[in-house]
Amino acid sequence: MKKLQSMEQFEELKDNGKHIFMFSAQWCGDCRFIEPFMPEVEEKFKEFTFIYVDRDDFLDLCIKLDVFGIPSFVGYRDGQELGRLVSKDRKTQVEIEQFISSLA
């Protein structure tokens, strides 16, 4: 999974193509829980590019997008938000895959 490097990169990715931004942090236990199966999720949904957003590095972006719980996911296609799975709750692989399927 690619890691977001800058706000400029976020705007460029958000506006061009199909992306899922995964908001996470190194200290987040629920974020560590989903790490083992995320490569499988990425493989199932190759039409999206997955971008890791470190919540601590991009707190202003989290505030702008109302992402206050992690892990959270926000999907975009060509500048339009397709949907979001945003909460502080632990997510299962099934929940994440159902969310991504709903974006199609």
Q: Is 62 considered catalytic here?
A: no
Active-site residue (options: 4, 22, 28, 62): 28
Transcribe 14-47 into DSSP letters.
HHSSEEEEEEE-TT-HHHHHHGGGHHHHHHHTTT
Q: Is 31 considered catalytic here?
A: yes
Q: Are 18 and 48 in contact (CB under 8 A)?
A: yes
Active-site residue (options: 20, 22, 31, 65): 31
Catalytic center residues: 28, 31
